[in-house]
A and B are shown apart, each in its own frame.
Chain A
Amino acid sequence: MDLTFDIANFFAGMLVLTSFMLLYQDRIMGLINVFTLHAIALSLAVGWQAWAQDRPHLWVTAGIAVFFKALVIPFSLRSIVKKLRIHRDVEIVGGIGITMLVGIGLVALSLVVMLPATTAADPLAREDLAFALSVVLLGLLMMVTRRNAVSQIIGFMSLENGLILAAAGAEGMPLVVEISVAFSVLIAFIVIGVFLFRIRERFDTVDVGELDNARRDRQ
């Protein structure tokens, strides 16, 4: 039991760590690679949960994570980047140092919020949940601080990963939710893709700032 707890803890921690790496990364290709790592970490965590809780359907979730998030999405993102000739480095609002500090603050916050909240839940869930929350917050932070569509999408994905971690941690949560997560990720990806292409037709770059300039004096 103790060991399982430690290992689950370790995987979740790894996920948080990779989130920080995402925050740190300022090259698009690098970003995509780190995200692959993130997805793998997620699948490991979920897999471990599946083994520990002995709930086979979690294996499915882990598989989905590996397949979609670690293979399909990074691949297609790379192709988008190539196709649209997005300049390769990512402009970060406020610089890396500050974002890292804010990120640490967020992790602290999620621990403060979650640990007392989950005294009732079994220890395996506790840490997981706290880490999941911090992954979610870090993903949101990334979406806020990146001024480039692809990196925003990645931020959003990492946020979803946090959700899956939480869902996996939730004992006996029916399959409905995982499917829906995957489902939403899928939709998200498709729609974003559609939009990127649409936008490509009209803009030279997918920098969201350009999108905002589409606004003339329309109010």
Chain B
Amino acid sequence: MTYLALAAAYALLALPFGAAIALAFVEDHRQAAHVNVAVAAAVFACAVLLLFVRPPAGDFVFVDDLNNVFIVLSTFIGATTAGYSASYIQHEIDAGKLKSGYIRFYHAMYQALMFSMNLGLLANNIGLMWVAVELATLTTVLMVGIYRTPEALEAAWKYFILGSVGIALALFGTILVYMSAQPLLGDGYEAMKWTSLMARAAEFSPHLLNVAFVFLMLGFGTKVGLVPMHAWLPDAHAEGPTPISAVLSGLLLNVALYAVLRYKMLLSVNPAAIAPGPMMVTLGLASLLFAGLMLYGRKDVKRLFAYSSIEHMGIITFAFGMGGPLANFAGLLHMAMHSLTKSAIFFAVGHITQAKGTQRIEDIRGLTQSHPMLGWSLVVGVAAIAGLPPLGVFTSEFLVVTSTFARQPLLAIPLALGLLIAFGALLLRLTSLAFGEATEDKGEIEASYAPIVIHLALVLLAGLWLPPQLAAWFQNVAKLLG
């Protein structure tokens, strides 16, 4: 049984790794796309398997409730996105935007990204986790720049510089954590294992942990896209291929968030250490309000939703910063819902931009008339992301706002304000995108609706009914997070 579990866990790493190497050599992009989808699906299957059998914590890889949530979520979205990118890439080739060499590169990088994210989630070693997150960053940098337009290159460049500064800060934090653990756990890997760190964290030197958390918060927070380290995020989303935008918003941000959460747990175990909550709450509120206001001035549809990702990451960070069973539950749920919804929105937006041949919001109008399916799914998606019931995001926002107002009314007011501001902006843009006189199409598309529909259906389901097992699981994780 445990062998099966171990096999599944290592398959999560081995499959994408192998696929990445293999795909680098597959000429025909159709085959490549199929392989891509198949591998992603297999990986998802392994992740689901981990729900039932769990391997014992090893030196480098371990699975517990917390990272299991993230693994299942990210492998699932990885699979659907792979399915979506097949049709998207096909259109890009027909439109002559991408040459087949780049396609090979693209698919290889896609799997490499999957590999690095799974590694980051599974890692039982803070150093390994750091390596994995950075690897994920670098692969996405390369993918963002793939169109080779000046804008794309600039976006990638900006992403790279800010990302590597984040890398450095995170590494410094990691070193400090090791140093705080080393006197107790002795030299070597023992002082870098999550499992042993969590066990002894109460006795670590609090001062070192505080300084470490500052660096980790900023370092990994850069990947989360928190204000003021957010600057790379909108351009990276806007200039890269849309599947990558979906993956960035749906997965990479979560992986970085996962790292932050781990360290937060570490600090909250230590009584003498500074409370990580206020820092996260502050950054979260800043991101929410800033991104909410930035939404108004956006002219590019993908940038619009990129900023909305910043906003939602702010909400999630806020929730985890508030802590407590309700808020943590809400944070987890909100993270899952945001990943599903936002990637669905990007799927729709990708096809829309292909159909209209532009990303400018002024040039896209009346979608519900010209493309009913895409238009209405965009409406549903934005309604969901704006926190309207009966869709899942509402559930988490309900929990966040209510629990916050009961505990810290003064914090709930800027939260509600930010939600309202962002809501107004999104609704304003949605109104002009989806309604009114339709603008003419530039290109024919055969869109793949399945991923969009699946994601939105899941979000709707979550708003109406959460499976008790899932809920129990989330509550358990919420307890872990303290």
**Chain A residues within 8 Å of B, Cβ to Cβ:** 113-114, 116-121, 125, 129, 132-133, 136, 140, 143, 152, 156, 159-160, 162-163, 166-167, 170-174, 176-177, 180-181, 183-184, 187-188, 191-192, 195, 198-199, 202, 208, 211-212, 214-215, 217-219
Contact = CB atoms under 8 A, between A and B. Distances in A.
Contacts of B447: none
B472 interface: no
17 contacts: A118-B179, A119-B205, A119-B207, A120-B180, A120-B208, A143-B165, A162-B172, A166-B176, A171-B182, A173-B182, A173-B187, A176-B127, A177-B171, A184-B134, A195-B153, A214-B151, A215-B154
Contact of B175 (A160, A166, A215): A166
B5 interface: no
B298 interface: yes
Given A133-B172, A167-B175, A120 B189 contact: no
B142, B145, B150, B303: which has the most chain A beta carbons within 10 Å? Answer: B150
Interface string B160-186: 110011011101101110111011001
B135 to A, nearest CB: 9
A52 to B, nearest CB: 15
Contact of A195 (B156, B183, B238, B303): B156
A120 B205 contact: yes
Contacts of A159: 165, 168
B131 interface: yes
B148 A191 contact: no
B175 A184 contact: no
B130 interface: yes
Q: Which 3 A-B pairs have the closest CB atoms?
A: A172-B187, A117-B207, A214-B150
B252 interface: no
A218 B187 contact: no
A117 B211 contact: yes
Interface string B64-79: 0000000000000000
A113 B274 CA distance: 14
B151 A218 contact: yes
B350 to A, nearest CB: 17
B236 interface: no
B128 interface: yes
A170 B168 contact: no
A136 B172 contact: yes
A198 B148 contact: yes
Nearest to A202: B150
Most buried by A among B127, B186, B299: B127
Given A121-B182, A171-B182, 11 more contacts: A120-B205, A129-B179, A167-B171, A173-B182, A174-B187, A184-B164, A187-B138, A191-B138, A191-B160, A192-B160, A208-B157
A172 B188 contact: yes
Contact of A176 (B128, B150, B151): B128
Given A171-B187, A172-B187, A184-B164, A202 B127 contact: no
B327 interface: no
B300 interface: yes
B161 A152 contact: yes
A166 B141 CA distance: 27
B467 interface: no
A113 B208 CA distance: 9
A119 B179 CA distance: 12
A183 B153 CA distance: 23
A174 B151 contact: no
Given A152-B161, A176-B128, A117 B208 contact: yes
Nearest to A190: B138
Contacts of B299: 217-219
Contacts of A120: 180, 183, 205, 208
A173 B205 contact: no
Contacts of B187: 171-174
Nearest to A176: B127
Contacts of A170: 175, 178-179, 182
Contacts of B168: 136, 156, 159-160, 163
B297 interface: yes
Contacts of B316: none
B164 A188 contact: yes
Contact of A117 (B142, B145, B188, B205): B205
A53 to B, nearest CB: 10
